[in-house]
Amino acid sequence: MDLEAELGVQLFVRGRHTLTLTSEGDALLEQAIDIVTKFDNIKKTIQPHTNELTGKLTIGYQSFFDTTLMYDVLKSVTKKYPRVTLSLFRGTPLQLRRQLINNQCDAIFGLNTYIDSIPNIKTIELQKNKLQIAVPSTHPLANMKSVDIKRLANDNFIMLNRKISPFIVDYAISLCMKNGFSPHALYYVNDAEQALLHVGSGQGVTFLHSMNKVNNPVESYGVNLLDINGLDNDLNFVLGYKETNTNPITEIFVRELMKVHQQKDGSN
């Protein structure tokens, strides 16, 4: 189509070896660029997202902890980004730490005490957590809300195997030592549930996190949970991920986590 004939104006100045725009041609070019830009924006708005984000995200989490928040975030991410693959790894604190250090997990849910020393780590505090004591419901101190740890110096302790969680075991032993005694470990177990079963049968007492999912401890295990006086260490529940993580889905997951977490805080 001959634009000049169609519009009735001269758009070009033609030389032997040159071609330049007239003022009318400049005005037309400006309008044409604006039309093309608007058309591209319309296409992006109404067309399906053919370039939808794809990839894989690996999340680690500690067993026996309340995973409600994690699952809410995972559901939100998969709904918005259905082509993203999510992989879950449940492990011990030591396994999770190694997974994050070796970049085998993009992010992990766990206790701040074994995450925050990892180089280039960022953490988001999700829930307060503290160390408690589980005692048999028949224990002389069972009806107390909190207890001085010294009062348990003569009790047998059911201890978590140090290979499972060296950070927490060392912290618990150090707590006892600071209060003038070394805990007498009657059994070493691999998880909190085994420990509670031993305690419920009257074989001793055990340390337990307040974040542990123990519904109706008296009915389920025959134990009472007591706070420990004077604790100030940081055992809060966090999400940890590396600042150097290059997986773009990690940033999306963190954003969704913050949204869901704020919504939950606002509803409480």
Domain boundaries, the chain: 3-45, 55-128+237-267, 131-228
| pLDDT 10s digits, 175-231 | 999 999 999 999 999 988 899 999 999 999 999 888 776 677 878 899 999 999 988
User: Which band of pLDDT confidence, cut at 50, 70 and 90, is reported for residue 86?
Assistant: very high
| Higher per-residue confidence, 49 vs 162 | 162
User: Using an 8 Å Cβ cutoff, are 211 and 112 in contact?
Assistant: no
Residue 16 is predicted with a pLDDT of 64
- Of 111, 136, 137, the C-alpha closest to 125 is 111
Q: Is the pLDDT of residue 240 over 90?
A: yes
pLDDT 10s digits, 30-59: 777 777 776 666 655 554 554 478 899 999
Return the percentage of the chain with pLDDT > 70, whole number: 84
CATH of domain 55-128+237-267: 3.40.190.10
Amino acid at 166: P
What pLDDT does 41 receive?
61
Summary mean pLDDT of the chain: 85
Whether 159 and 188 have beta carbons less than 8 Å apart is answered as: yes
- Rounded Cα distance between 48 and 194, Å, is 52
Query: What is the reported pLDDT for 216?
Result: 76
CATH 3.40.190.10 fits 131-228, yes or no: yes
Q: Would you state the structure tokens that stand for residue 230, as one six-digit string?
A: 């004077």
| Predicted TM-score of the model (pTM) | 0.63
Q: Which residue from 173, 211, 172 is spatially nearest to 63, judged by alpha carbons? A: 211
The better pLDDT of the pair 28, 51 is held by 28
Q: Do domains 55-128+237-267 and 131-228 have the same CATH topology?
A: yes
The one-letter amino acid at 193: E
Rounded to whole angstroms, the Cα distance separating 58 from 105 reads 5
Band the pLDDT of 65: cuts 50, 70, 90. low
